[in-house]
Chain A
Amino acid sequence: KAGVTQTPRYLIKTRGQQVTLSCSPISGHRSVSWYQQTPGQGLQFLFEYFSETQRNKGNFPGRFSGRQFSNSRSEMNVSTLELGDSALYLCASSYEGGGEAFFGQGTRLTVV
């Protein structure tokens, strides 16, 4: 059974640009959550999507957005990138949310 797939693995962007990250969950999983991991803040919840609807949202500015498609694949977008957005972005999939969640390999974003 394939795991959670995130693309791309690495990204380097310039301040002010925007970026889109992709996450394909485990087959059959309908919940996809996104997290930002930095050395100082640890793992912080961004948002969760379930059946194409945003079900939960963390305390991040509106520059961070996401969506989920009918096949449960999810994308997150960050607009007007800032240096502080440099982080490892992780997505986690679970069957319905609330149970065991499995992480992808992450996308390491560097903003210069």
Chain B
Amino acid sequence: QKEVEQNSGPLSVPEGAIASLNCTYSDRGSQSFFWYRQYSGKSPELIMFIYSNGDKEDGRFTAQLNKASQYVSLLIRDSQPSDSATYLCAVNESGNTGKLIFGQGTTLQVKP
């Protein structure tokens, strides 16, 4: 069974701090990795995607990928109360284009 593991949290950080969210996956053949943000009662919103080892930055968000360690992370700099949400890590299952395997999500709380 291919799995994606996340710490459910809650992860609590003060406003302005860096929030670090982590994810591990079991499918060594996975090539595409995504972070979604989901506010309570809403649908997931794609905020970052990464396909190559290393870092990818977009505004306050940085995604990091290490395929050898099967590890993906998301850093949120200068965290804001509006960043408080559940963050879902998703991995494309190898050999099954279009099928995403999701972690259970990490709840982030940013305290003013």
Question: A43: which of B31, B32, B92, B102 is its contact (CB, 8 Å)?
Answer: B102
A-contacting residues of B (Cβ < 8 Å)? 31-32, 34, 36, 42-46, 49, 88, 90, 92, 96-105
Q: Count A-B contacts at CB 8 Å.
A: 66
Residues of B within 8 A of A33 (CB): 98-100
Q: Which B residues are in CB contact (< 8 Å) with A97? A: 97-98
With known contacts A42-B103, A100-B49, A101-B34, A94–B43 Cβ distance under 8 A:
no
A105 CB–B CB distance under 8 Å: yes
Alpha-carbon gap, A104 to B42, bound state (A)? 10
A105–B39 Cα distance when bound, in Å, is 12
A62 contacts partner chain B, Cβ-Cβ < 8 Å: no
User: Would you give 5 A-B contacts (Cβ < 8 Å), ordered by A?
Assistant: A45-B99, A88-B43, A96-B97, A101-B34, A103-B46
Chain B contacts of A94 at CB under 8 A?
Answer: 98
B residues within 8 A CB of A100? 34, 46, 49
* Interface residues of A, count at CB 8 A: 27
Docked pose: A97 CA to B96 CA in angstroms: 9
A101 and B99 in contact, given A42-B104, A43-B88 (Cβ under 8 angstroms): no
Given contacts A33-B100, A43-B44, A48-B96, 11 further A-B contacts (CB under 8 A): A35-B102, A45-B99, A48-B97, A55-B97, A56-B96, A56-B97, A96-B97, A98-B31, A99-B49, A103-B43, A104-B43
Is the Cβ of A99 less than 8 Å from the Cβ of B102? no
* Complex CA distance for A55 and B100, rounded to whole angstroms: 13
Residues of A within 8 A of B31 (CB): 98
Name A's B-contacting residues (CB within 8 A).
31, 33, 35, 42-45, 48, 50, 55-56, 58, 88, 90, 92, 94, 96-106
CB closest residue in chain B, given A97: B98
Cα distance A44–B4 in the bound complex, in angstroms: 12
Given A42-B105, A43-B88, A101-B34: A48 and B98 interface contact (C-beta under 8 Å): yes
Chain B residues with CB below 8 A from A42, complex form: 102-105
- CB pair B44–A98 under 8 Å, yes or no, is no
CA of A13 to CA of B45 in the docked complex: distance in angstroms?
28
Query: Measured between alpha carbons, how far is A102 from B99 in the docked complex, in Å?
Result: 13
